[in-house]
Amino acid sequence: MADAVETADVLIRDAVGAQAAAWGTIDPATMLSTSCVLCGELDHGLGALPPHVIERERRLFELEWADDEPNTFWQLVRTGRTAAALRLDVGDPTRLARYRELLMPLAINDELRLLLDIDGRSWGTAIFYRSVPEPFNGADVERARECGPVVAAALRRAMLRAVCDSPQLPSPPGALVVDQHDVAVVSSTAAEGLLDSLDDAQAATTLTSLAASTRARGASSITVTGPGGVVTLHGSPAKGIDGGVAVVVERPRSIELAPLIMHAVGFTPRERAAAELLLAGRSRTQIARLLDVSTHTVGDHLRQVYRKAGVASRGELAALLYGRYYEQPRAEQVPPSPYGYFVGR
């Protein structure tokens, strides 16, 4: 996953003229942070995050949860945007707490936020920072926005590769490599088991189609249904093999609030769905439309969510979940899962 972030950072930070960036993965079920990497002028080097960086991140998250400032990632979701620049939207950023408390002390003049979305899910975030006087412009925002889905897909593929054949996951994804003739030259046990759910002809045709599409586009995905169920295959160029394609095979699965959180808090499935949409920044009207219920019913669900969690607002709910279930595994650098939350948790 570090390679995917490093490559994206080099390309996009240069393209938008940023001197620093903060890249993060998020749990797509809650939009809460599962990891963060600082690049450029903010890079602190190898090893654990220094205490002052941890405290700075904690304050940034608090301001995000409060949801009373423009251009938070939650507000981007609510307004249907994936990229935005602070000075373009706000004009004078000194009225914002995050600018006064966090950016000014670091001599940062402007920020450009990018939500890494693909297939209706947010897998990560990027914040690009400029320390030079010239602010980001509309062309910078559009350039970043166009890169978002590509980076989101690469990030999720990297997470999938990292957990292939992992004993910590039920029905883990598997990996294989096909050569320039579309013949599998190496494959994992999990990949072989998943491909066995297709008949032989279907498996061969699917691998050939995926390989051709990957060579043409640089990456590709295919979902097929066979006698043994549905599988999804993701292709990317294989390093060191001319014309080769690296393939990750998985069972499609829903992304939901982590079972341990569901069990501990006691949400019903409907309350879980409402809580997820609330945490993702959706308004009550949007939640009602997405769940196909009335706003009155949404209100009932959210009252139960708040009551069971012992909170009074979305910000308090996010802070509670982060502090109780996300902060420790994140600090311990437990890998984020390609199916939400953390691997093995």
What pTM value is reported for the model? 0.92
Best CA proximity match to 336, nearest among 166, 191, 171:
166
Terminus-to-terminus CA distance in the chain, angstroms? 19
- Residues 6 or more apart in contact with residue 91 via CB below 8 angstroms: none
Give the angle subtended at the CA of 145 by the CAs of 110 and 34, to the nearest 5°.
75
Q: Show pLDDT as tens, one digit a residue, over the chain (345 residues).
A: 788 899 999 999 999 999 999 999 999 999 999 999 999 998 877 667 778 888 888 888 888 887 667 889 988 988 889 999 999 999 899 999 999 999 999 999 999 999 999 888 999 999 999 999 999 999 999 999 999 999 999 999 999 999 999 999 988 999 999 999 999 999 999 999 999 999 999 999 999 999 999 999 999 999 999 999 999 999 999 988 999 999 999 999 989 999 999 999 999 999 999 999 999 888 899 999 999 999 999 999 999 999 999 999 999 999 999 999 999 999 888 999 999 999 988
The CATH architecture of the domain made up of 259-331 is: Orthogonal Bundle (1.10)
> Would you kindly state where each structural domain of the chain is located, as residue ranges?
2-162, 174-250, 259-331
Q: Which two tokens stand for residue 196?
A: 């066995």
Backbone angles phi and psi of 135, in degrees to 5 = -80, 170
**Alpha helices per DSSP H over the chain:** 2-16, 51-66, 73-78, 86-90, 97-98, 138-162, 189-195, 200-217, 259-265, 269-279, 284-291, 295-309, 314-321, 327-331
Q: Do domains 2-162 and 174-250 have the same CATH topology?
A: no
Q: How far is CA 42 from CA 106, 127, 129, 133, 150, in A?
A: 9, 12, 9, 18, 24
Q: Which CATH class is domain 2-162?
A: alpha beta
Q: Which CATH class is domain 174-250?
A: alpha beta
Residue 231, SS3 per DSSP: strand
Q: Which residues sit opposite 126 in a β-bridge?
A: 23, 114
| Residue showing tokens 């390093």 | 239
